[in-house]
Structure 1
Amino acid sequence: MFFNWFGFWRRLFSFIWDSKPKLLSIEEACDILNQDEEENLEPIAIPEEENVNEYDTCLKKGIITFKNENKYQIDDLYEFESNAENLYIGSRVSYKIFITNCTIKVTDVKLIENDWDVDETGKSTWCSRIMVCKVVKRENRNVILEPGDVTVDLDKISIEFIPIIGDWVEIHVKSEVDINITDFSGKILEIDKVNAVRPHIKNCVITSYNAKDNFGILNKNIYFLSTCLPYGYIPQANDKVIAEIIESDQGTCVWRALKILPEALAAKKEQITDVKESDLVYAHEHINISSESVELTGLNLKTQFFVLIENISDEVFLIKSVGFKAPSQSKVTSNVQDYTLDAKEIKKICCDCESKSMGDSRDLIEIDFGEFKIGYWVSITVGRQSSFESVKCIRKGSKYLNNYSNEIIAGQRVTSAPRFCSVKIPDYTLPRKLLDIFNRFTFRDAANIQSELQAYKPSLFNNLTLMNYEDKFHTLLYLEEISEKLALQNYDQDLACFIRNGEYLMLEINNLKERRPSLLVGDKIIASDPTKQDNKDFEGFIHKVGGNHVYLKFSPMFHDSYNGEDYSIRAVCGRGSLRSMHHAIFLAVKMLGKDILFCTQLTERELQVNLRSEEKQITRRQALEKMYKLKNKTPVKETAQPKSIDWYNESLNCYQKEAVKNILLGVARPLPYVIFGPPGTGKTVTIIETILQLLRMIPHCRLLVSAPSNSASDLIALRLINSGVLKPGDLVRVISFSYLMSELLPGELVPYSATLSLGREGTVPSAEVLKTGMTLGCSSSAIGRHRITVSTCGSAGRLFQMGFKRGHFSHIVVDESGQASEPEVLIPVTFLDKYNGQVILAGDPVQLGPVISNPFASDNGLGESFLERLLNRFPYVPDFESFPETSGYDPRLVTKLRYNYRSLEPLLNLTSSLFYNNDLLVTVSSEDSKEAKTLAKLKDILPLGSNSEPPCIVFHGVDGEQCRSNDSPSWYNPHEAAQVFYYINELYRMGLESKDIGVITPYVKQSREVRLILTEAEFDCPKIGTVEEFQGQEFNVVLVSTVRSSSEKADDLNFISCPRRINVTISRAKCLLIIIGNPNVLSKNIVWRSVINYCISNGAYTGCQMY
């Protein structure tokens, strides 16, 4: 505040001594300004002589004394922003000031060229009011409203939707009081907020949809754009939807939908159409067609069957040709070309069938009589006895018995707990009330559980706000913890025997690697003696995890006394990551607040890095400024010299470079910057370049780089090390002790890795450096010196316990942020200094999201990532009118990467149209690329596409049988497994290797079934796994087995119908995707319906008949 007091006293003394104040030199003025760096952050006080009260408006004259780009200062007192081109330092202006929320606002600034250009200074009154207007025009970020010709700058107001021409809106304004107008509404001083008029939710039916022009109609009077549709949904007439609508004039429509959610698909047979059969008839008054059913026990088997053509009339017919419609498993072996069928004659047509499709299917035989064609479907059944017995899986209703009150005899921890911690976070103990709810009901009693939760925690079902933010997310995390406890009951054993192995006691657990949730080093096993009633339980910590065993250490007394007795055991997972997430929620509200968590307005900050513009020409405004400065020799504030970017990776495309530039500029800080990276667009490469450029351009910066998983964190660390840019000591990879013991850490990262010591410095032994270069037990002073700290989101919570304050890291980078829950991402983000720091979130909100096991937690907000929630809010939502060149996203906040380096064009087109608004651009050639040549080799085993070329995506319909065995609730489908085997055999025959193939299935049991078949055949096994195991990976050929084959409702398809899972599934292939499933079941889902229709329209459907 020194500078303002100086101006005040200077004025005061000039009146006392009636002399002009002494002018300061530039150096003296700079010295005064530099005494307080935060002066500009504090509000400027109004001189006492002005005496401007709340609701007063004061018209004044003054001189512009400071200018920096579009920021100005009048008389060294009042700050304002303007894009006018005729304002310079020294310009005389008139302006109005008023006070709102204890802040001075300057408005209506006008250049004074003559004294009579402005009225006399004076005061007036203002008030708040609401005006209803209609959007009549859009000019970039400006919205023009009528009546009143009001201009709204979307960058300067609070709004929660993107208005278009025709929308009716309510604007909350501060306006002068004009007694000469009937409603006293004078000139608008400021616009605070814009709301839609009459927003509400309505059940609707799709009237029509124009996919070419991307708009549609609901209920004949509600207009909607394709941008309001959920990912993966292509609407069709008569689909039932739920819409959020507002009042808007759109031609004949008087409403507009802001958001649409599908409720029920239209039940129409023409939704999915099979082969074109318009010229076929299936019944004729003079001709009868019949055939026996064909049955085979397995694939690649041959059999012969006959089709009978009977002439029941007295006429003679000429059979011109007989053949099966491709694709088909059958072929005609009889020569019946130009055969004369006499009256009452029966012609036997000999056919061969070679089984290629498992389950029930039909082949269409066409008999051409010249004047007409008759079609007949031959039923074919190909079956295989599964190696698993098909029985109904019976599961007990899981309950969490929260009556464990026995005395616990402590075991031996993996690492000793420190006596003195720098920062101790609360326990955030699970509330007993929530435990009691899930103790009384199972998840089958969803209605009862929801009723109890609504009574106990109403905020759980309310929209997320800053007021309920903590309460809601704490409850969501508690619900997820309860589900984890229930899942851990899978490890419970009534009678378990330990095996001595040196210093450990081993516990055998079958299929340990495949069980979920996984047991990790540091988790606990609680053992109790069922034969004793001494109320004592023994705690054993897991020190190692083997294939089917965990290695435990109980108390020394237990080890000494154990003699092979049976114990009842239960597993208990550590709560460290949960506590970190709870604490991150607390810190987020306190440290980040509404401006970041619930931002509705973008306020530009000064450039973080002044980059040299690549444009050689200057604007008219810049030219006038230079001329004015040369003429008047006006001293201006010196700014940092522009810097040019020397790219470390010259192969970056224009979108990747723009992302890096926009992050370096950082004008939207502290709002998170988003790198939206669809599959195969080079997101990781962009992150690496961003980190390296930040280190180069901002020498004092310190980065915390996090990701939800260890594999993603390792990848970033390896790429940074292999860049060759970093110096020794620049990077540290922080790991947990459990990850160290898992032996999964890449060898290249070992010298850069360190575990942390939570003990206060001076109270614990110093760090130990191993021969490999790894450091164990690092203190905060050692970790804090590195310029880049790479960790998982969970491990970042330990940095807070070590005493790291917000602002220690200048930049927070979170990769794969779409895969983490909001509390998990907030663990690293809460280290942000929101006045000087920057957050970069990279990921894809349309791919796999957080893995949440509790349905009530997932449905009420925990299943939505922070990245996804941001991109669904203003100012992150796309505005195609303002930003047509950047997919509708504001480049100050978001860059969407568009060039795909993975897939051939037909594969990319499917993914792009369903999930990315047709934004993705192909780079893989369909002519001479490796992918194109690989696809050409596979032509013989694929149906012929509509363009007479082998299709990149094939849907093979299999009407199989879904089964469950008595040892697992997971589904499997033996018919689809056999079909997968058939294709793998054909791919190997065509020269592909196991490394070229990936097999995706949503169920673990199906993975085992496919793997067993391949093992029995002594085949090399390609990668086989669930969707989660394939995120971020790519293969030349991907086979997908969807498993589910019964006639369920769409809601019963479980997670195979999740759009994000489907997106990951269909975007892994580089040249060929083969989907094996039941189209009659999958078509009940909105996304699978679109996938199947895409295959049909491109001639890439084969297999069972659709109905």
Structure 2
Amino acid sequence: QHLQPSALEFFQRWCLLLHLELTQSKRAAVRALWCQDPVTREASGDAVCYLQLEKCEQRGVGQFVHTFTRSPTAKSYPSLRHSLPTTGLKASDMVVVSTKTSIAVSQGVILSASSSSITVTLDKQLHKSTPVSCGYYHLDTCHYQAGMSHNFTGLAMLLHDTPAAASLRRLIIDKVPGVVKAGLSRDVIQQARPILKPLNIDQQKAVLRCCMGQDYTIMQGYPGTGKSVSVVALVRLLVLLGKTVLLTSYTHSALDNILLKLKDTGVDFLRLGRLSRIHEDLHCYADELLTKNTTDVNALADFYNSKAVVASTCLGVNHVLFSKRHFDVCIVDEAAQVLLPSCLSPLLLAGKFVLVGDSQQLPPIVLSKQARSLGMCESVFSVLERQAGSECCASLTLQYRMNAPIMRLANTLVYQGKLKCATPAVQDARLHLPKLQDWDSSSTPSWEVLAVSADPAVLLLDTCGAAAEEAAPLGIINNREAELIARIVATMMALGGDCDSIGVIAPYRAQVRLLSDTLSERVTAQAAARSDGLVMPPHLLLQPDVCHRVEVNTVDQYQGRDKSVILYSCVRSAVQESHYGEILQDIRRLNVSITRAKHKLIIVGDVKTLLNYDTFAKLISELRPEEIVRLEQQDWEQLGV
């Protein structure tokens, strides 16, 4: 009786969307693990196969740390390198372990992953629970379904007959505007000054605006604008004002990124979650360790209630603490990436909330194409941002990452000129390769010289239809684009470029795999045998695996990070309209790819094909003549491909 028809319609719509997604995700996970061979699963980025156990050590009750390297058995499979793939599985991912004869013999979390080894904490000792005769192991991504249960629970809680649920329905479903205070008292301003002093003017205004919101505040944190610094300052101020804070995010890594900064300020907090998913430097704040010797229920309750700041992922709010605790403010970081139902449970635990994010970057991940078409890629952030007045929003626009030419593209694509360089140094920053000045480039193709030069800071290399895409077993690839990018990376490294400062992005996993292989196989050889006399430094020639430090990945894995140089392989060339696909049409993905670059952005693709995509057509129209270079036939001949 307490529910309006609109609330029931909202509930039914989201139940349908969640069921569509649940069906798709289960089907994909089961099909991969049971129906695909390990080599295929690794190539798709969801597994690492044919591993041998190097060592195992116990670190606490029920926690066994295992270190794996590639098994000699892998030599039987030409498509597998001796080194481990650096794409796909990463630290903090949940995995299941299988053997030659058994699927899912153990489950755990990746602690670290490199090209030489992968370390995982598991719930049992493999060498005791599995026979030596198993020969080798496979690690597969664990498609954990508890998140879907959390989503259904959040929807149900939204319908409860409670003041908190009624208030949230009023904002999200009925679209009633949020209430904002007219101002803050002089006393609050005085207390805030020491905390706000190190911030820029945008950040200061955002923190104060968040304190003025009675229902909610949207903090629009554009790329490189220091949103995590602003969140830390907000938490400090709220604690100083005697408020309790629930700090949350969808991923452990995003949450821990803020907590590491908060730790440096001296603010005390409690980090909830499994110890294996928490950053090592934050273990001293983990409830798992802090409460392990507490046996009295009342003492445990007093401990949990004593913490003014509690941090948990959105899925972690099923902790017993939250059945007894209510907070003054809930802060959700990366809120634009959190599926709407996933965000409901934490929001119901606080009197008001702050959503921090950027709706122009990656949306929530939805596997079901049908669910996506029905609007499932929606977050509480995007819903409230559309209806919020300016008094409920605070924008961070002064950015410290991109130089002016790269920022210009981001402004044209999505930010409508809002982004500004925070300092002249940021505006004028350029790529610096230490040996560039001493390089005799007279015999080097002009496109290659431009690719490693400080200017232009933005460069589109037009393959002019000469780099055709190919259909590979695991997806679409473009060999010539991969060779071209490998050549540029080799030249940058030979000129003193830092491998860790170079990043390569591709829209498709198959191309990511090809690029990674090409870099590994070609970079040293290309740099060591050139007609212009440019050679790879000896210490790099002795370490072929150094190429793995050049990170190659899809844009999803680059969210929240940056590199001095970003090379983007577009892959598609001479594609028919019916086969355009969704990915290159997604302006948010293109925006994230562009805004990862600080000093140099190089896009490799066929302009004629790219103009068929509205996103790239808009980008290309903004480029200046000197920022587009056409590759002629002689350029490909010189490249040797």
- Under TM normalisation by the shorter chain, which class is it? 0.7 to 0.9
CA-CA distance at 1:551 after TM superposition = 8.7
- Letter of the 1:748 partner, please give it: D
1:810 equivalenced with 2:328 (yes/no): yes
Aligned counterpart, 1:985:
490
Residue 655 of structure 1 is matched in structure 2 by 202
Gap change, CA 1:974 and 1:539, over 3 Å in 2: closer
Q: Which residue of structure 2 lines up, in the alignment, with residue 823 of structure 1?
A: 341
Structure 2 counterpart of 1:957? 462
Contact 1:943–1:1099 under 8 Å retained in 2: no
Q: 1:69-84 maps to which residues of 2 (within 5 A)?
A: none
Is residue 172 of structure 2 the alignment partner of residue 597 of structure 1? Answer: yes
Aligned-partner Cα distance in 1 for 2:86–2:34: 16
Alignment partners' CA distance in 1, 2:207 and 2:314: 23
Structure 1 CA distance for aligned equivalents of residues 100 and 274 of structure 2: 26
Q: Could you tell me how far apart the structure 2 residues matched to 1:657 and 1:991 are?
A: 39
Describe the shift of the 1:913–1:521 C-alpha distance in structure 2 as closer, same or farther (beyond 3 A).
closer
- Give yes or no for the alignment of 1:867 onto 2:374: no
Aligned partner of 2:307 among 769, 779, 786: 786
Matches of 1:1094 and 1:1067, distance apart in 2: 16
User: What is the identity, as a one-letter code, of the residue corresponding to 1:482?
Assistant: T
SS of equivalent residue, structure 1 residue 648:
helix
1:676 corresponds in structure 2 to 220
Listed as ranges, the gaps of 5+ residues in structure 2 are: 39-49, 57-61, 75-79, 525-539, 541-545, 634-641
- 1:755 paired with 2:325, answer no
In the TM superposition, residue 1001 of structure 1 has moved relative to its aligned partner by 1.2
Q: Distance in 2 between matches of 1:550 and 1:641?
A: 47
Query: 2:626: which partner in 1?
Result: 1099
CA pair 894-1105 structure 1, distance change in 2 beyond 3 A = farther
Aligned residues of 1:955 and 1:1076 also touching (Cα < 8 A): yes
Q: Contact 2:180 / 2:392 at 8 angstroms: preserved in 1?
A: no
SS in 2 for 1:827: helix
Per-residue CA shift, 1:929-954, capped at 9, x if unaligned? 54376799699766999xx9932211
Q: Match for residue 531 of structure 2?
A: none
Alignment partners' CA distance in 2, 1:952 and 1:1024: 20
- Structure 1 residues 750 and 803: CA distance shift in structure 2, 3 A: closer
* Conserved? CA contact 1:1036–1:1069, under 8 Å: yes
Query: What's 1:1040 paired with?
Result: 568
- Residues 1:907 and 2:443 are matched in the alignment: no
Q: Which moved more, 1:841-850 or 1:578-587?
A: 578-587
For the residues of structure 1 that align with 2:305 and 2:140, how far apart are their CA atoms? 39
From the CA coordinates, give the structure whose radius of gyration is larger: 1
> Which of the pair is proportionally richer in strand?
1
Matches within 5 A, 1:91-490: 465-488=6-29, 489-490=31-32
Please give the per-residue CA displacement for 1:723-758, whole angstroms capped at 9, x wherever unaligned. 24x2xxx2112222552xxxxx4332121123399x
**Distance in 1 between residues matched to 2:104 and 2:567, nearest whole Å:** 45
Instruction: Pick from 542, 545, 548 the counterpart of residue 107 of structure 2.
Output: 542
Distance 1:1007 1:964 in 2: 14
Aligned pairs for 1:453-532 within 5 A: 465-488=6-29, 489-492=31-34, 521=94
Q: 1:514 to 1:992 in 2, by over 3 A?
A: closer
Residues 779 and 970 of structure 1, relative CA distance in 2, 3 Å threshold:
farther
Offset at residue 598 of structure 1 (A): 2.8
Of 591, 597, 601, the match for 1:1073: 601
Once the two structures are superposed, what CA deviation does each residue of 1:948-991 show, in whole Å capped at 9, x if it has no partner?
A: 9932211101231223433xx23221100111012112323443
Shift of 1:603: 6.0
User: Could you tell me which amino acid in structure 1 is paired with residue 561 of structure 2?
Assistant: Q
For the 8 Å contact 1:735–1:791, the answer to whether it is kept is yes
More helix by share: 2
When residues 583 and 904 of structure 1 are mapped into structure 2, their CA distance, relative to the original with a 3 A threshold, is: same
Q: Supply the distance in 2 between the matched residues of 1:1088 and 1:681 (Cα, whole angstroms).
A: 25
Distance 2:513 2:140 in 1: 27
Describe the SS at the equivalent of 1:610: coil
Q: 2:361 maps to which residue?
A: 847
Aligned to 1:686: 230
Distance in 1, Cα, partners of 2:51 & 2:234:
52
Shift, 1:513, TM fit: 7.5
Contact 1:512 1:549 in 2 (8 A): no
Cα drift, residue 846 of structure 1: 0.2
TM superposition shift of 1:648: 2.2
Displacement of 1:1046 in angstroms is 3.1
Q: What residue number does 1:196 align with?
A: none
Alignment partner for residue 971 of structure 1, among 454, 476, 489?
476
Q: SS of the counterpart of 2:609?
A: helix
Distance 1:642 1:1001, change over 3 A: closer
The 8 Å contact of residues 951 and 1100 in structure 1, kept in 2 or not, is answered as yes
Residues 943 and 950, structure 1, Cα contact 8 Å, conserved in 2 = no
How far apart, in 2, do the equivalents of 1:1035 and 1:572 lie?
29
Instruction: Tell me, yes or no, if structure 1 residue 894 matches structure 2 residue 398.
Output: no
Q: Residue 594 of structure 2 contacts residue 601 of structure 2 at CA under 8 Å; is this kept in 1?
A: yes
Does the 8 Å CA contact 2:431/2:454 hold for their aligned counterparts? no
Per the TM alignment, residue 561 of structure 1 is displaced from its structure 2 partner at its CA by 10
Contact 1:703 1:789 in 2 (8 A): yes
Displacement of 1:1073 after TM fit?
Answer: 0.7
For the pair 1:585 / 2:99, whether they are aligned, the reply is no
The 1:935/1:1048 distance shift into structure 2, 3 A limit, reads farther
Give the superposition deviation at 1:604: 3.8
Evaluate the alpha carbon distance shift between residue 495 and residue 642 of structure 1 in structure 2; reply closer, same or farther with a 3 A threshold.
Answer: closer
Q: CA deviation at 1:679?
A: 0.6
Aligned to 2:637: none
Identity of aligned residues (%): 20
Unmatched runs of 5 consecutive residues or more in structure 1? 1-463, 530-537, 613-639, 740-744, 758-765, 770-777, 877-889
The count of residues paired between Structure 1 and Structure 2 equals 548
User: Which one is further off, 1059-1068 or 904-913?
Assistant: 904-913
**1:908, 1:865 → 2: CA distance?**
26
CA distance in 2, matches of 1:598, 1:520: 34
Structure 2 length normalisation: TM-score?
Answer: 0.74
Counterpart-to-counterpart distance in 1, 2:426 and 2:96: 54
What corresponds to 1:1000 in structure 2?
505
1:407-454 alpha-carbon deviations (Å, 9 max, x no partner): xxxxxxxxxxxxxxxxxxxxxxxxxxxxxxxxxxxxxxxxxxxxxxxx
- Asked if the contact 2:218–2:355 (Cα under 8 Å) also holds between the matched residues in 1, the reply is yes
CA deviation string 1:1017-1044 (max 9, x = no partner) = 4363222211112112222221111112
Shift of 1:641: 8.4
CA contact (8 A) 1:540 1:552 kept: no
